[in-house]
Amino acid sequence: VQINGASIGEDTFADVFLNDFLPLVRKSRLSPTYFEVLMAFSYWYFARTGVDVAVIETGLGGLLDGSNVVTRSDKTCVITDIGYDHTEILGHSLSEIAQQKAGIIQPGNETFMLQQSKEVTETIRDYANSQKATVTTVSADEQRYSPDHLFLFQQRNWSLAANTAQQWLESHNIVFPDDNKLQQAAHIDIPARIEVLTIGNKTVVLDGAHNPQKLSALAESFKEKFGSAPFAMLLSCIKSKQQKLLSNLQAVSDLKPAAVVTTYFQSNQDLKKEATDPKQLAEQLTTMGVENVQAISDSELALKTLLDRPEDLLLITGSLYLIFEIRPLLIAMKTFGEEKSPVDSYAART
């Protein structure tokens, strides 16, 4: 939860959540999930603080998502690129998934979406028409300030966000930021979205890509940024249907890593997610022609193995759950130095 771009802070969150908000949850006698509790808290905190505008991101899909309780006619909806993700819940075709995503559109809403496939565009427009809502389609080049340092998929998201903000601000008689402020905004780093960390002499790239669409976008951006430089990879994937897993691994194979360490993650929030057996990942990658593949179940030991490799460029991807486990270890190394990192402490214990 952030107000004016700043986190409310751990101490404030703990105090307000435990003393003011949690009693309301208990009084309701409901049994909300972890996600629903945090989503409800954000709405409650925004109302308590009296924000003028609340920016909310859905958790999964849209129509049946826990965030989809805002029915105001002046709500602005934003829909990014749609691909095959969470198909076991959202549907097995792009039109089915787009129908779920479009479910956030309420009567009279203004909707902004990226220009994409005809199937997706028509589905969203049809749904918007049924709600008497408007749809504006944005292309990646529809922005006066084009941040060249961003990767292609980031430029698309940037264009969508900037165009949405510009039209919303101007409709409320608020001056749109000048180019200097736009440049500052474009340089804001988002964790686990092609996030680059320097650990000693290693360049470590973290990205939570976890489906064929996102992994393909990562592959394109990674090659654009680093060219043909040799790199090693740490990989874990959620257990999924064989076809999706094979598509994910094919995208990994297409990156042509010099080496891959496959590993496992733990997930204990809400819908428990199970990682694919690292040995299965390793065997499949080897079948696809990837060389130097090693399976290590413990993610900390797998990270140390990756860092000990000779390549100066490292990529960690395949699952946001994996990043959730690995990123704090890397941040600790960056902050306190390698000799004091949890990874080295783990290695000493074993």
Q: What is the mean pLDDT of residues 168-185?
A: 88
Query: Percent of the chain having pLDDT more than 70?
Result: 93
Using an 8 Å Cβ cutoff, are 253 and 285 in contact? yes
In a domain, 292, yes or no: yes
pLDDT confidence of residue 277: 94
Pinpoint the alpha helices (H) of the chain.
10-16, 22-28, 34-49, 87-90, 94-101, 118-130, 152-171, 179-186, 212-226, 242-254, 278-287, 299-307, 320-336, 342-349
The answer to whether residue 237 is domain-embedded is yes
The pLDDT value recorded for residue 183 is: 80
Q: Is the pLDDT assigned to residue 349 strictly greater than 60? A: no
Give 287-335 pLDDT, tens digit per residue: 999 999 999 999 999 999 999 999 999 999 999 999 999 999 999 988 7
Query: Is the pLDDT confidence value at 347 over 60?
Result: no
What CATH number is attached to the domain comprising 279? Answer: 3.90.190.20
Mean pLDDT of 107-117: 95
Per-residue pLDDT averaged across 125-137, rounded? Answer: 97
Provide, rounded to the nearest whole percent, the portion of the chain with pLDDT above 90: 63
- Report pLDDT for 337: 57
Q: Which of 66-75, 172-181, 229-238 has the lowest mean pLDDT?
A: 172-181
Residue by residue, DSSP assigns 191-251 as: TTSSEEEEETTEEEEE----SHHHHHHHHHHHHHHHTT--EEEEE--B---HHHHHHHHHH
CA 223 – CA 313 distance, rounded (Å):
12
Q: What is the biggest distance separating any 2 CA atoms in the chain, rounded to whole angstroms? A: 63
CA separation, residue 217 to residues 60, 266, 309 (Å): 20, 26, 26
Distance CA 230, CA 310 (A): 10
Whether the Cβ atoms of residue 66 and residue 41 lie closer than 8 Å to each other: no
Print the domain residue range for 45: 1-54
Per-residue pLDDT reduced to its tens digit, 191-226? 888 899 999 999 999 999 888 888 888 888 888 888
- The verdict on residue 15 lying in a domain is yes
Please indicate whether residue 147 or residue 137 has the higher confidence score (pLDDT).
137
SS3 183: helix
In a domain, 98, yes or no: no
Main-chain dihedrals φ then ψ at residue 308, nearest 5 degrees: -80, -5
When the pLDDT of each residue in the chain is averaged and rounded to a whole number, the result is: 89
Query: What pLDDT does residue 278 have?
Result: 96
Answer yes or no: is 26 within a domain.
yes
In a domain, 224, yes or no: yes
**pLDDT at 182 exceeding the cut of 50:** yes
User: What local confidence, expressed as pLDDT, does residue 203 receive?
Assistant: 95
Report the SS3 class of residue 296: coil
Alpha carbons 108 and 76: distance in angstroms, whole number: 9
Within a domain: residue 309? Answer: yes
Check if the beta carbon of residue 128 is closer than 8 Å to that of residue 102.
Answer: yes
Mean pLDDT in residue range 90-96: 92
* Residue 68 pLDDT exceeds 90: yes
Residue 329 lies in a domain: yes
pLDDT in tens, 250-297: 989 988 999 999 999 987 666 677 899 999 999 999 999 999 999 999
Last residue of a domain, one of 14, 35, 54: 54
N-to-C CA span, the chain = 38
Give 117-143 as a 3 state SS string. Answer: CHHHHHHHHHHHHHCCCEEEEECCCCC
109 CB-near residues (< 8 Å, 6+ apart): 73, 74, 75, 76, 77, 128, 131, 133, 134
The mean-pLDDT minimum among 28-37, 45-54, 213-222, 300-309 falls in 213-222
Final residue before a domain boundary, out of 35, 54, 73: 54
Q: Is 2 helix (H, G, I), strand (E, B) or coil?
A: strand
pLDDT tier at 350, thresholds 50, 70, 90? very low
User: What domain count does the chain have?
Assistant: 2
Q: What is the pTM of this model?
A: 0.77
